[in-house]
C-alpha cells in the first residue's frame, strides 16, 4: 500500500470489468433531479451496504445483510428525489424482469424477483418544482443507458443522473468517479454522488479537503488528468479565496441551506469477496467521505456506501484475512478522490428558484492544493 | 459549526465535569504496557460504543447496545496487552464493587455488578517480554489514580497508561486528549490511544494528516499551546523530511511492523444524550480517526470508540434531532486533534528489544503543517 497508485484505464468505476453506468434526468421545467444506475454483468455481483448517515433514504438494503438470503444482485440505484425517488428502482426492476434477471422464485425462467438496492439524495425543489422527481421511467432510462454504454465506457460526471441537482456546502455537487489497479492486479473503482451538508472546501484556505494528504503514495501520479500529481500542495491565492468566500456568503443569504443531504457511493471491485468482506469494504469506504467532507455523518446526512464485487479475481494468497486490507484502503482513497473529482466536474453554478450554488471552478478557477 | 472553536479550560477530556482519567503502567523490565481508565462521576454516565476495526479486542461492549438493559456505566477501560489486557477491567470492577457502584442486582446496596466496558491495543512483546501485560492490579492502580486526580485535573499524555508501548506507522504513539466548549455551552472532550498500523504522517510532506484542514474554523485558535494556530499550513523542510524518511526506513528494517493495531477513543460530553444518540456520536467520531490516520479500519485494526455522556446539560431546544449535529461534528474533530496531540506528545523514540520507533518530534523537531 506504499506503492504509487496506478489509476485504471478510464479512472472510473467502469474499469471494473462488466460494470456499466447510466444516468437519466427528470424532464421538464422546474426539474433538477435524476437517477444513476450501476449495472452488474449478467449473473450479478456480490453486494453489501453500510449506512452511516443519520437521515438515510434507502430500499432493499436489509436484503444485503450478509446473514440474509439474497446472494447476488444485478443493479444498484442512486437517485435524487429523496424518498420519492426510490420509486425509480421500480423501472430498473421491470427492465431486469423482462430479461429474466433476478432471484429465481419459480419453475419458469421468467419467475424472478430482481433485488435492486437503492439510496437517495435530497434535492426536492432544487429546480423549483417540489414534485418533479425521478420515477420508474427515470430508472428505466438510466438502466437502458447503462446497458447501451458498453464495457469500460467513459462515465459522465458532474451534474448528471442522481447528481443533477446536487449541492455540497453551498457549492454545486454532482457525480464523480475514480479507479485504481492494485499491485495484485485487482481493480477497484468508486462512483459517488455528492450532496452533502458539510463542506468539501477548507474555509481557511479554499483548498478541497479531499486533496489534503493525497499528494503522495495514496493519491499517486495523476496520469489521467486527475488533480493528484504529487509534490507539495498549492493553495488558492488568498485574494481569490476571499472573493470566493464573499460570493458564497451572498449565495447562502439568498437561500437557506437544504435541510437534508447525503453522499452516496458505490465501491466496486473485480475481486472475489464474501458478502461479509463486501460489507467491510463499504464500511471503511466511509473514511473516504470523512476525509473529503467536513462535517459528515450528521443527523441530516444519509451517507450510504454500496459495494459490488464481480468475483473475477481471487484475493492474493498468503495474508489470509489481511488480504482484504489493500481493497479496504483503496476503497476509502477512491471515494475521497471521486468526491474531489465530482466537485471539480461541476459545470457552471446552479442558479434558479431552488437556490444559488456556485461551482468550485467558477470560484477558484480550477483545482487547488492538489494541482 | 462555522464559529471558531473554543477549547476547554484544560483542553482535555476532564473538562467534561466529573470525568477523571488515571493511568497505570505494568512494572518490571521487559514491560512496555499499561492501562488507562476514564472514571465517571458517582451515578455513572450514559455510554455507547462503535467498533469499526477488523480486529477488535473488547469486553462488555454488547451491554452498551442501546437495545440492551444496562442504562449507565461507571468507567471505561483502555488497555495494552491485547486481549490478555482486558483482565485489567477486573481490577476496576473490584474497586467499584467495594464502593457499591454498578448495576444493583440484589436487596443489599453491596449487591452490584459494575459493567466496565474495555478495549485493548496490541503491544505484546513491545518491551521485550511477551507475557508482561496489564492485569487486575494495573486496572486498580489506574482507577485509583483517576479517583485521586480531582476534578478538571490535567491529563498526562504520550507514553502513559494504555499508550505506554503504543506505536503508529513506525513512529511512537501514545495517549492524546482535547476538548471544546460549543456555542450552546456544552463541553465535548476526547481521549485517544494511538497504536495504528496506518500512518499519522503524510509520506509526501512529513506533515501530520490530522493537521490538514484544521487550520480554520474547525481547528480554531490554539489558545492552549495546541498545534492549531490558524493560517496556512507550513510543511517540514524537504531535507528534514528526507532524513526522517531514511531514519524510518532503517527502523522498519530493524523490526517488522506489528501485526495488530488499534486506535481507541473515548468521546465524552456533559450533554444529556440518549443511549442511541451516544451511539451515533461514537460512530461519527470514527471520522476523526479516518482524517488523522491512513489507512485505518483495516482487518488488523481494532479501532473502537466509546461515548460517555454525563447528562448535566440539555441539548439546545429548537433543532430537534439535529441538535445532536454539533456534538457529532465536534467529536470527530476532537478525535483528530487528540491523535495529533498524542503523536506530538510522544517523548523520545522507543528503542528496545520490541523494536525501534522514533518519535515525530525527534524526526521533525516539532509540529508541522499546523504551525
List chain A pLDDT tens, one digit each, 371 residues: 444 568 889 999 999 999 999 999 999 999 999 999 999 999 999 999 999 999 999 999 999 999 999 999 999 999 999 999 999 999 999 999 999 999 998 899 999 999 999 999 999 999 999 999 999 999 999 999 999 999 999 999 999 999 999 999 899 999 999 999 999 999 999 999 999 888 999 999 999 999 988 643 333 322 222 333 445 667 899 999 999 999 988 888 876 666 678 899 999 999 999 999 999 999 999 999 999 999 999 998 899 999 999 999 999 987 788 899 999 999 999 999 999 999 999 888 888 888 899 999 999 986 544 33
Closest Cα to residue A235, out of B166, B238, B117, B234? B234
Q: Do A290 and B332 touch (CB under 8 A)?
A: yes
Residues from chain A that touch B291, judged by Cβ atoms under 8 A, are 290-291
Closest Cα to residue B324, out of A121, A203, A53, A252? A53
Average pLDDT over residues B259-276: 93
pLDDT at B225 exceeding the cut of 50 = no
Closest Cα to residue B370, out of B211, B167, B193? B211
Touching check for A205 and chain B: CB below 8 Å?
A: yes
Could you give the count of Cα atoms lying within 13 Å of A158 in the half-sphere of its Cβ? Answer: 12
Average pLDDT, chain A: 90
Closest Cα to residue A49, out of A312, A258, A278, A240? A278
Please report which helix (H) or strand (E) contains residue B332, including its range. helix B325-345
Stronger pLDDT, B108 or B220, i.e. the higher one: B108
Q: Indicate the angle between helix axes A136-148 and A88-98, nearest 10 degrees.
A: 50
Residues from chain A that touch B370, judged by Cβ atoms under 8 A, are none
What pLDDT, on the 0 to 100 scale, is given for residue B120? 96
**What is the 8-class DSSP label of residue B304?**
E
User: What are B218's three cell numbers?
Assistant: 474547525
Touching check for B230 and chain A: CB below 8 Å?
A: yes
3-state secondary structure A36-61: EEEECCCCCEEEEEEECCCCCCEECC
A residues 244-303 lying closer than 8 A (beta carbon) to B: 280, 283-284, 286-288, 290-291, 294-300
Lowest mean pLDDT of A125-129, A233-237, B82-86, B341-345, name the range.
A233-237
CA distance A217 to chain B (A): 7
Cβ pair B60, B89 in contact under 8 A: yes
What pLDDT, on the 0 to 100 scale, is given for residue A72? 97
With CA atoms as reference, the chain B residue closest to A197 would be B325
What pLDDT, on the 0 to 100 scale, is given for residue A228? 39
Touching check for B318 and chain A: CB below 8 Å?
A: no
Q: Do B297 and A283 touch (CB under 8 A)?
A: yes
Cβ pair A229, A330 in contact under 8 A: no
Residues from chain B that touch A324, judged by Cβ atoms under 8 A, are 54, 298-299
- Rounded CA-CA distance B197/B260 in Å is 7
Number of C-beta neighbours around residue B245 at 10 A: 14
Cβ pair A93, A100 in contact under 8 A: no
Residues from chain B that touch A286, judged by Cβ atoms under 8 A, are 286-287, 290
> E strands of chain B, at which residues?
6-7, 20-25, 34-39, 46-51, 58-59, 75-79, 103-104, 112-113, 118-120, 167-168, 171-172, 174-181, 187-195, 262-271, 304-313, 350-352, 355-357
Task: Return the SS3 of A98.
Answer: helix
CA distance B91 to chain A (A): 34
pLDDT at B219 exceeding the cut of 50 = no
Total-model pTM:
0.89
Residues from chain A that touch B294, judged by Cβ atoms under 8 A, are 213, 218, 329, 333
Q: Which of A182, A236, A237, A284 to mutate against chain B (most B CBs within 10 Å)?
A: A284
Residues from chain B that touch A216, judged by Cβ atoms under 8 A, are 202-205
pLDDT band at B278 (very low <50, low <70, confident <90, very high): very high
pLDDT at B17 exceeding the cut of 90 = yes
Task: Return the SS3 of A340.
Answer: helix
pLDDT in tens, A248-296: 888 888 766 666 788 999 999 999 999 999 999 999 999 999 999 999 9
CA distance A99 to chain B (A): 39
What pLDDT, on the 0 to 100 scale, is given for residue A257? 60
Q: Which of A258, A299, A324 to mutate against chain B (most B CBs within 10 Å)?
A: A299
With CA atoms as reference, the chain A residue closest to B259 would be A322
Cβ pair B335, B265 in contact under 8 A: yes
What pLDDT, on the 0 to 100 scale, is given for residue B231? 53
Closest Cα to residue B116, out of B60, B65, B71, B52? B60
pLDDT in tens, B19-29: 999 999 999 99
Average pLDDT, chain B: 90
pLDDT in tens, B94-118: 999 999 999 998 899 999 999 999 9
Q: Are strands A262-271 and A304-313 parallel, antiparallel or unpaired?
A: parallel
Q: What is the CA radius of gyration of chain A?
A: 19
**A304, β-bridge pairs:** A51, A264
Touching check for A203 and chain B: CB below 8 Å?
A: yes
Residues from chain B that touch A296, judged by Cβ atoms under 8 A, are 284, 287
Q: Do A215 and B235 touch (CB under 8 A)?
A: no
pLDDT in tens, B289-340: 999 999 999 998 899 999 999 999 999 987 788 899 999 999 999 999 999 9
**What is the 8-class DSSP label of residue B302?**
-
Cβ pair B164, B33 in contact under 8 A: yes
pLDDT in tens, A183-202: 999 999 999 999 988 899 99
Residues from chain B that touch A235, judged by Cβ atoms under 8 A, are 232
Task: Return the SS3 of B217.
Answer: coil
Q: Which of A5, A196, A204 to mutate against chain B (most B CBs within 10 Å)?
A: A204
pLDDT at B220 exceeding the cut of 70 = no
- Rounded CA-CA distance A88/A74 in Å is 15
What pLDDT, on the 0 to 100 scale, is given for residue A282? 98
Touching check for A230 and chain B: CB below 8 Å?
A: yes
What pLDDT, on the 0 to 100 scale, is given for residue A280? 97
What pLDDT, on the 0 to 100 scale, is given for residue A370? 39
Cα A255 off chain centre by: 26
pLDDT at B370 exceeding the cut of 90 = no
Amino acid at each position: 500500500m506504499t506503492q504509487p497508485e496506478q489509476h485504471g484505464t478510464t479512472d472510473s468505476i467502469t474499469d471494473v470489468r462488466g460494470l456499466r453506468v447510466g444516468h437519466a434526468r427528470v424532464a421538464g421545467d422546474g426539474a433538477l433531479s435524476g437517477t444513476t444506475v450501476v449495472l452488474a454483468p449478467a449473473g450479478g455481483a456480490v453486494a453489501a451496504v453500510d449506512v452511516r448517515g443519520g437521515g438515510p433514504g434507502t430500499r432493499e438494503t436489509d436484503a444485503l445483510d450478509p446473514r440474509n438470503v439474497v446472494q447476488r444482485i444485478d443493479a444498484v440505484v442512486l437517485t435524487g428525489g429523496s424518498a420519492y425517488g426510490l420509486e425509480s428502482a421500480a423501472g430498473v426492476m421491470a427492465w431486469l424482469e423482462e430479461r429474466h434477471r433476478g432471484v429465481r422464485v419459480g419453475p419458469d425462467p421468467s419467475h424472478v424477483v430482481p433485488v435492486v438496492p437503492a439510496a437517495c439524495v435530497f434535492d426536492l425543489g432544487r429546480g423549483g418544482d417540489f414534485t418533479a422527481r425521478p420515477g420508474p421511467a427515470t430508472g428505466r432510462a438510466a438502466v437502458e443507458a447503462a446497458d447501451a454504454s458498453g464495457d469500460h465506457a467513459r462515465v459522465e460526471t458532474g451534474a448528471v443522473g442522481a447528481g443533477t441537482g446536487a449541492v455540497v456546502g453551498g457549492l454545486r455537487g454532482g457525480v464523480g468517479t475514480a479507479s485504481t489497479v492494485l499491485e495484485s492486479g485487482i481493480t477497484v473503482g468508486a462512483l459517488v454522488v455528492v450532496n452533502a451538508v458539510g463542506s468539501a472546501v477548507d474555509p481557511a484556505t479554499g483548498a478541497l479537503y479531499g486533496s489534503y494528504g493525497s499528494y503522495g503514495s495514496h493519491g499517486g501520479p495523476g496520469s489521467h488528468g486527475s488533480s493528484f500529481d504529487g509534490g507539495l500542495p498549492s493553495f488558492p491565492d488568498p485574494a481569490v479565496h476571499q472573493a470566493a468566500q464573499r460570493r458564497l456568503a451572498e449565495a447562502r443569504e439568498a437561500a437557506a441551506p437544504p435541510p437534508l443531504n447525503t453522499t452516496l457511493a458505490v465501491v466496486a471491485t473485480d475481486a472475489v469477496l464474501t458478502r461479509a468482506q463486501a460489507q467491510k469494504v463499504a464500511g471503511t469506504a466511509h473514511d473516504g467521505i470523512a476525509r473529503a467532507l467536513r462535517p459528515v455523518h450528521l443527523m441530516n446526512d444519509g451517507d450510504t456506501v454500496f459495494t459490488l464485487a464481480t468475483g473475477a479475481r481471487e484475493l492474493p494468497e498468503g495474508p489470509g484475512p489481511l488480504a482484504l486490507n489493500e481493497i479496504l484502503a483503496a476503497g476509502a482513497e477512491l471515494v475521497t478522490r471521486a468526491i474531489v473529482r465530482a466537485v471539480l466536474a461541476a459545470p457552471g453554478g446552479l442558479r434558479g428558484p431552488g437556490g444559488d450554488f456556485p461551482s468550485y471552478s467558477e470560484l477558484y478557477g480550477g483545482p487547488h492544493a492538489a494541482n
